[in-house]
Structure 1
Amino acid sequence: MTSAILTARTERRYRNHHHALWRRVLINREAAIIGLLALVIVVATVVVPNFDSPLTITYLIRELAPILLIALPMTLIIITEEIDLSVASIVGLSSVVTGLGVQAGWGLPAAGLAAIVVGVVAGAINGALVTFVGLPSLAVTIGTLALFRGIAVGLLGTTAISDFPDFWTDLARANVPGTPVPMIIIPFIVLAVVFAVLLHFTPFGRSLYAIGLNKEAASFSGIDVGLTKFWLFVMSGAVSGFAGIYFTLLYNNARGDNATGMELQIIAAVLLGGVSIFGGRGALHGVIAGVLLIGTLSSALRLAGVTSDIINVITGILLVLSVVSASFLAWVRTKRVSAVGKKKGRSGASDA
């Protein structure tokens, strides 16, 4: 029985390697999301006034930058069949720490370092509770979502800090020279390359897929499942801390309620980008395309005069469809594996 379950779950991730390379590259969920993104861009450029203006591109990337950054470690976490709902609260907490540091007379680099350290500590708390205590990540991060947000709001109350050095706020809003692309794209590309290499080209990355497919089998194969997951939550906290610094400088505003609700946008984009909520499947290029798809669609609809409520409904429908389609495909593949197994069994019996 255990062998049959392991075979079915492994089939869910590795079956495509039996196909030709072109089919594995072009016929998958990630390619479908990239194609849909290209279609949305073309239609919006033709139909929506000012969608293709440089200013639209600038504001779109600025708005999506924190989501793009945090989606990188979130992808790795969900691939291992875990989740981190506290990321937006860590953004808010790191924003407050940055503001308090500057207000106390620290330089921005020192305040920013303190904010990242706070993010690392927050991620370590999540990781320790999930891996060493053995609590489910959903329950843990719902609790720390409220905890970190409560600390952030408690430190500043209803006030805000907006007296940041012009050099740093201007840098956060600056574009790559000669382009409408914000400078934040540079650290994002660096981090994206690091995470892509880590996930797709190292034994550590392969271990993440193995954990997501079957953590018991991964443990028996020598993978330290608990420690691996712990470091993923630490990474998530560190990147969320960095995103909190950028968020603060971009809007010149440190508040305890900064980035409220952002965790849902991040998870929606990750799932839409092809990462399975059941673990064991996903790729970073699909996730990046998922973030850009949701952001591009929202931007186009806003420019077209659609209300935010309708945009939220459309985003929700996309998320539900992505999860349902993944579940349906998994069910179809399981049925196919079962049918093949029965066919082989009948064939072996007739040969005997």
Structure 2
Amino acid sequence: MGRDTRSAGSVSRSALTRWDTSLLAALAAVVVVAGVTVDGFASARNAQFLLLDVVAIALIALPLTLVVITGEIDLSVASTLGLCSAVMGRLWVAGLSLELIVVLVVLLGAVLGAVNAVFVTRFALPSLAVTIGTLAAYRGLAFVVLGDQAVADFPAGWTDAASSGRPVPWALVVVPALAVVFGVVLHATPFGRSLYAMGNNAEAAAFAGLLVARAKFWLFVVSGAVSGLAGVYWTLRFASARADNAAGLELAVVAAVLLGGVSIFGGRGTLLGVLAGVLLLGAVRNALQLADVAADTLNVVTGGLLIASVVVPNAIVLGRDRWRRRRSDRGPR
């Protein structure tokens, strides 16, 4: 029995590694083909625009990867971003300094994440239902805070640093730094390894002494805090605090995470795959936008990639597991 479990685990890891490699190959292919066939795609200016365009998705995807690996989901991330943006605008109008506002907004995001965490870990409610509810509630609160107006008089120094900073915008430094931190935590620490155990079997993980509820609680808090930081970035990049900022972005974030090879059922995934998924999704959407493809078509493409990201990796793993079991059943010859 133990040998079969180890074999299945090694097959899953091997399949996942090949999925990551395939994603990187697909990303390279998209970049080469789009660079040759789409006017302006290969320019340095468009490359920076593409990277800035996926910053919010990448930021939110980092903690969400850990959340999904434990078998949970957070669909309220874009609404958290929108509420934090609205509060940022309201606080700026009230005369607070931007330095203080940034700190308060990130803390607000953490509180919003904690609300999700309490319902999921203390009341044992399914995270899908909880975060669908808070998705609507947080977006509604954003309109209560700011209404349908926009706050757009942020200092040029701050907005320039978010969109065209020299030598690079600050977000293009922060995202790689946070990616390293989350990557080390997930792949090089006992805590990160325990998240896979929780995703595979939360009850067994709890019996083994892992603090499942506490770990999930703090993951939701971190997810909210990073979504708040994404709200700061979004507001400064577009120089506009609005209640409807990033509406619908949760679809792109979840698509990127699942496209990166993270199992929707938990217990499987790598941060490298997720980052490759973020860039692949961004590159495809950017190329289609430059080719004047309609926004509705872009949503169809995103939805199609989301479905493929759920079906294909699981089909690969299941197929290889079955093949392995058949070989085991045949026995040595």
TM over 0.5: yes
Instruction: Check if 1:41 corresponds to 2:31.
Output: yes
In structure 2, the residue matched to 1:281 is: 268
In the alignment, the residues of structure 1 paired with residue 239 and residue 261 of structure 2 have an alpha-carbon distance, to the nearest angstrom, of: 34
- Give the direction of change, closer, same or farther, for the CA distance of 1:136–1:7 in structure 2 (3 Å limit): farther
Question: Structure 2: which amino acid aligns with 1:86?
Answer: S
In structure 2, the residue matched to 1:15 is: 11
Instruction: Check if 1:31 corresponds to 2:31.
Output: no
Instruction: Check if 1:290 corresponds to 2:280.
Output: no
In the alignment, the residues of structure 1 paired with residue 109 and residue 136 of structure 2 have an alpha-carbon distance, to the nearest angstrom, of: 15
Instruction: Check if 1:55 corresponds to 2:42.
Output: no
1:187 aligns with one of 174, 189, 205:
174
Superposition pairs of residues 223-302 of structure 1, within 5 angstroms: 223-302=210-289
CA drift of 1:183 comes to 2.9
Q: TM-score, normalised by structure 1?
A: 0.89
* Structure 1 residues 308-331: Cα deviation after superposition (integer angstroms, max 9, x where no partner): 222222222222122111232243
User: Which secondary structure state, in structure 1, belongs to the residue aligned with residue 54 of structure 2?
Assistant: helix
Instruction: Check if 1:100 corresponds to 2:96.
Output: no
Quick check: 2:12–2:317 contact (8 Å CA) kept in 1? no
Quick check: 2:89–2:241 contact (8 Å CA) kept in 1? yes
- Give the direction of change, closer, same or farther, for the CA distance of 1:220–1:165 in structure 2 (3 Å limit): same
2:184 aligns with one of 181, 187, 197:
197
CA drift of 1:337 comes to 5.2
Question: Structure 1: which amino acid aligns with 2:119?
Answer: L
1:328 aligns with one of 293, 305, 315:
315
Question: Structure 2: which amino acid aligns with 1:281?
Answer: R
CA drift of 1:12 comes to 5.0
In the alignment, the residues of structure 2 paired with residue 106 and residue 13 of structure 1 have an alpha-carbon distance, to the nearest angstrom, of: 53
Quick check: 2:151–2:241 contact (8 Å CA) kept in 1? yes
In structure 2, the residue matched to 1:70 is: 60
Q: Looking at CA atoms only, which structure, 1 or 2, has the larger radius of gyration?
A: 1
CA drift of 1:264 comes to 0.5
1:135 aligns with one of 125, 129, 139:
125
Question: Structure 1: which amino acid aligns with 2:161?
Answer: L
Listed as ranges, the gaps of 5+ residues in structure 2 are: none
* Structure 1 residues 212-233: Cα deviation after superposition (integer angstroms, max 9, x where no partner): 1111221121111111111110
CA drift of 1:338 comes to 4.4
2:165 aligns with one of 175, 178, 186:
175
- Give the direction of change, closer, same or farther, for the CA distance of 1:156–1:26 in structure 2 (3 Å limit): closer
Aligned residues: 332
Quick check: 1:219–1:225 contact (8 Å CA) kept in 2? yes
In structure 2, the residue matched to 1:147 is: 137
1:109 aligns with one of 99, 116, 125:
99
Identity of aligned residues (%): 49
In structure 2, the residue matched to 1:20 is: none
In structure 2, the residue matched to 1:163 is: 153
**RMSD of aligned Cα (Å):** 2.1
Listed as ranges, the gaps of 5+ residues in structure 1 are: 18-23, 348-352
In the alignment, the residues of structure 1 paired with residue 265 and residue 233 of structure 2 have an alpha-carbon distance, to the nearest angstrom, of: 32
CA drift of 1:243 comes to 0.4
* Structure 1 residues 30-61: Cα deviation after superposition (integer angstroms, max 9, x where no partner): 11001000000001111111111122112111
Quick check: 1:25–1:31 contact (8 Å CA) kept in 2? no
CA drift of 1:13 comes to 4.0
Q: TM-score, normalised by structure 2?
A: 0.94
